[in-house]
């Protein structure tokens, strides 16, 4: 028997773990456990809890509207207590992504995917850009990906120019900035 077939048969033989029955206490414990491990927005936490509710109702039955009510109450409680803070999350995420060389477009997209409000995305993006410009971020990205002046073999730089420009464009940088970084001196 092939090794992958053996692994698949082990997984198939293992009984599926049944979900717990949803209660306000269970949802609170699950939310606190999740927040202990991950920084999250209220939208993210709501999606995580929603999956738990759906699995539980599918298995045990119950009133979905009641469970959603418990979930909304819990998220309000956690927001008021400061355990969930979308503004702090957005600021932290925008600064860390910018420091790692991400473009404004990429940062805005990632924050929107996490459920951060559009006005908050704009504000935190402006704060991150004030610290590190788009051009500096592009330079960091090019250095990390060894593009243009940061190639390990400088003789291949010209033949890979179009590929490097395309790579920066896919990362969300404008053509002007990409061209400036790729055509710059290694220093």
DSSP for 39-57 reads ---HHHHHHHHHHHHHHHH
Is-contact 140 100, C-beta < 8 A?
yes
> Could you report the per-residue pLDDT of 72-114, keeping only the tens digit for each?
999 999 999 999 999 999 999 999 999 999 999 999 999 999 9
Backbone angles phi, psi at 18, to 5 degrees: -80, 140
> Could you report the per-residue pLDDT of 115-162, keeping only the tens digit for each?
999 999 999 999 999 989 999 999 999 999 999 888 888 788 889 999
Indicate the pTM of the whole model.
0.79
């Amino acid at each position: 028997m092939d090794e992958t077939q053996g692994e698949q048969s082990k997984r198939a033989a293992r009984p599926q773990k049944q979900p717990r029955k949803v209660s306000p206490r269970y949802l609170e414990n699950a939310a606190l456990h999740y927040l202990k491990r991950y920084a999250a927005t209220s939208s993210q936490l709501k999606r995580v809890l929603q999956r738990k509710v759906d699995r539980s109702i599918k298995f045990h039955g119950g009133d979905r509207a009641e469970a959603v009510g418990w979930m909304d109450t819990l998220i309000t409680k956690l927001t008021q207590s400061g355990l969930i803070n979308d503004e702090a999350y957005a600021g932290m995420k925008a600064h860390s992504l910018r420091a790692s060389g991400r473009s404004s477009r990429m940062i805005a997209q990632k924050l929107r995917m996490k459920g951060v409000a559009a006005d908050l995305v704009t504000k935190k993006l402006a704060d991150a850009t004030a610290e590190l410009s788009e051009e500096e971020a592009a330079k960091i990205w090019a250095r990390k990906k060894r593009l243009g002046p940061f190639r390990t073999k400088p003789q291949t730089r010209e033949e890979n120019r179009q590929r490097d420009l395309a790579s920066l464009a896919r990362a969300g940088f404008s053509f002007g900035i990409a061209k400036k970084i790729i055509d710059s001196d290694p220093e």
